[in-house]
Amino acid sequence: MNRKAIIGVMGPGEQATTNDLQNAYQLGYLIAQQGWVLLTGGRNVGVMEAASQGAKAAQGLTIGILPGNNTSGVSTAVDIAIVTDMGNARNNINVLSSDVVIACGMGAGTASEIALAIKSNKFVILLNDDLNSKDFFQKLAPKNIYIAHSVSDAITLTRNVLVNC
């Protein structure tokens, strides 16, 4: 295919930690630098906002898959806003549309995206400090889950997955 790879960065909105936000911004920046397209949940908070801003700082292309029925609350760093009006069910579109999913931080929405990604046999890279989540998801789907120890590690793992699939 000629289409560019789409990398989904999923993570908490309002509940994101400072560390999550720093990681998300760097992920977005490096994803754009690789020439990949960034996909997030599109809202102007948390990991979605930080990743999108990072990608734009590196002149990347950004997609936001919004839960509501219009573009209110979309990040100013989203180039392409997809308006789903599906609430949290849009999380399934997030993962199906991503060639690789990076989970940056943890929360209920993020956990649903990891689980839905596994269910559709996608590869998911976990970048967070939550040991329970790593134990749980790695045991649930050892072939689909990779653990990243840093942002650059997540980018390296993403590149490896893209090359092999």
- CA neighbor of 34 nearest in space, from 164, 161, 141, 156: 156
**Which ranges of 34-127 does DSSP label H, i.e. alpha helix?**
46-57, 90-96, 108-119
CA distance 98 to 94: 6
141 is an interface residue for a copy of itself by CB under 8 A: yes
57 is an interface residue for a copy of itself by CB under 8 A: no
54 is an interface residue for a copy of itself by CB under 8 A: no
Binding span for a copy of itself by CB under 8 A among 21-29, 43-51, 102-110, 148-156: 102-110
Q: Which of 96, 129, 150, 152 binds a copy of itself (CB under 8 A)?
A: 96
**Residue partners of 129: CB distance under 8 A and separation at least 6:** 19
126 is an interface residue for a copy of itself by CB under 8 A: no
For residue 67, the minimal CB distance to a copy of itself (Å) is 9
- C-beta separation of 74 from 99 below 8 A: no
147 is an interface residue for a copy of itself by CB under 8 A: no
80 is an interface residue for a copy of itself by CB under 8 A: yes
In the numeric block, the tokens 């046999």 are attached to 121
- C-beta separation of 4 from 101 below 8 A: no
Q: Which of 17, 34, 57, 79 binds a copy of itself (CB under 8 A)?
A: 79
Give helix 46-57 / helix 18-33 axis angle, nearest 10°. 40
**Which DSSP category does 141 fall into?**
-
Residue closer to a copy of itself (CB basis): 1 or 163: 1
Residue ranges in contact with a copy of itself by CB under 8 A: 1-4, 6, 37, 61, 63, 65, 69-71, 76, 78-89, 91-93, 96-97, 106-109, 111-112, 114-116, 118-120, 130, 132-133, 135-136, 139-141
